[in-house]
Structures are given as structure tokens and as C-alpha cells.
């Protein structure tokens, strides 16, 4: 029984998991240095046995709020950064050591390392939302068209009925007035 538990634990230890690292590099590095720093960051992952699934090269972005750093006793606020991400598979036992190396990375402003799934969930969700949105807009347009068509038809019918009644009343009044004129003339 003890050997079976050890074998199960060994299998679980050897199984890689999928992680995603989202990060901000400081904005003060030169633009051509960003690719070098990104390659260096990826080499830290490779060194620990990581296998890449997907990635996005860091791009310069304005931040929603300032992120402050302290370097040699001086505090500095950053209003922009180079944001990028990488998705990779790695042995879970290597993650803690990798995280320590990332924290010590000189150009790192902030990062988030999360456990995730291998599938590309972001694009699928966006495509699905766009498709649902498009179907919803079409359905709303069709409903609006049918409601407007019904309202216009009802208004035209009411207008026609009102017009017909008004014409009938006017004609009836004319006939009555004409009869009165005829009565007055015969007197």
C-alpha cells in the first residue's frame, strides 16, 4: 500500500501544469532593449524546464493608475509600462524558484503568475461575446422593425378610419345644409 501511494505521488510530481505570467517592465528601458529583456525572462522559464504555449511581446501601455517603485531609497511613480505575457507548462515544484527569480528581475515593475488551462480562453470568450452580441443586435433590429411596422399599420388604419368618418360627417352636414337651403327657398 505504501509503494502505491509513493508511485501516485511521484506521478503527480512529474505532471506539468500550465501557468500564465502577465508582467510590466519599467518604462525607462530603451525600446530595442525590451525584446532582449523579454528573451531573458523567457530563458528563466526555459532554464526551469518550462515549455511555451503562447506569448505576447511586451508593448508600451499607459497605466490606469501610477505604480510606484523604490530603488536605492528613492520612490518613483510610473504612469506607463511595457506590458506582455507568456503562457507555459512547467513542473509545479519549479514555480516557487521561478517566482523568486522573476521578483529579482531588474526591469520588472510588477507581475502576476497564475495557474490556468492550456486552451486559449481569451480569444474564444471574445469571439463568443461578439457573436452573441451580433445575434442580439440582429434580433433586436427584427423586433423593432416588426413593432414599428405594426404601429405604422395601426396608425394608418386609425388615420384612414378617422378620415373616412370626417369625410362622412362633412358630406352629411353638406346634405343637411343643402336641404335647409332648399326649404328656405320654397317658403
pLDDT in the model for residue 148: 67
6 pLDDT higher than 90: no
Phi, psi of 116 (to 5 degrees): -145, -165
Could you tell me if 50 and 91 lie in one domain? yes
Q: Are residues 35 and 70 in the same domain?
A: yes
**180: confidence class by pLDDT, cuts 50, 70, 90:** low
Residue 69 and residue 40 share a domain: yes
pLDDT tops 50 at residue 5: no
Residues 6 or more apart whose CB falls under 8 angstroms from that of 58 comprise 23, 25, 34, 37, 38, 82, 83, 84
Between residues 157 and 91, which one has the greater pLDDT? 91
pTM of model > 0.85: no
pLDDT score, position 73: 87
Residue 154 is assigned to a structural domain of this protein: yes
Q: Are residues 124 and 172 in the same domain?
A: yes
Report the share of the chain in percent with pLDDT over 70: 60
Q: How many Å apart are CA 91 and CA 17, to the nearest integer?
A: 6
φ/ψ (deg, to 5) at 76: -135, 135
Within this chain, do residues 110 and 155 fall inside the same structural domain, yes or no?
no
- Reply yes or no on whether the pLDDT at 174 is more than 90: no
C-alpha cell at 168: 362622412
Q: Which of 76, 101, 119 is the last residue of a domain?
A: 119
Do both 34 and 104 map to the same domain?
A: yes
First to last CA, the chain: 130
Asked if 28 and 109 sit in the same domain, the reply is: yes
Same domain membership, residue 166 and residue 137: yes
Q: In whole numbers, what is the pLDDT of the chain averaged over residues?
A: 79
Residue-range definition of the domain harbouring residue 85: 13-119
Tally the domains of the chain: 2
| Same-domain check for residues 125 and 93 | no
Strands (E), the chain: 17-25, 51-71, 74-90, 108-115
Amino acid at each position: 500500500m505504501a509503494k502505491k501511494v509513493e508511485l501516485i505521488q511521484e506521478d503527480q510530481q512529474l505532471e506539468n501544469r500550465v501557468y500564465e505570467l502577465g508582467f510590466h517592465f519599467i518604462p525607462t528601458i530603451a525600446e530595442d532593449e525590451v525584446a532582449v529583456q523579454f528573451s531573458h525572462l523567457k530563458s528563466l522559464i526555459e532554464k526551469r524546464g518550462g515549455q511555451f504555449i503562447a506569448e505576447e511581446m511586451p508593448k508600451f501601455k499607459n497605466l490606469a493608475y501610477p505604480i510606484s517603485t523604490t530603488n536605492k531609497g528613492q520612490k518613483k511613480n510610473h504612469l506607463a509600462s511595457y506590458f506582455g505575457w507568456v503562457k507555459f507548462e512547467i513542473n509545479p515544484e519549479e514555480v516557487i524558484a521561478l517566482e523568486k527569480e522573476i521578483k529579482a528581475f531588474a526591469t520588472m515593475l510588477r507581475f502576476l503568475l497564475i495557474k490556468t488551462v492550456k486552451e486559449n480562453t481569451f480569444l474564444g470568450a471574445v469571439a463568443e461575446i461578439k457573436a452573441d452580441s451580433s445575434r442580439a443586435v440582429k434580433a433586436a433590429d427584427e423586433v423593432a422593425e416588426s413593432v414599428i411596422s405594426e404601429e405604422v399599420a395601426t396608425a394608418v388604419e386609425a388615420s384612414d378610419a378617422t378620415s373616412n368618418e370626417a369625410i362622412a360627417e362633412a358630406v352629411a352636414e353638406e346634405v343637411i345644409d343643402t336641404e335647409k337651403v332648399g326649404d328656405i327657398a320654397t317658403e
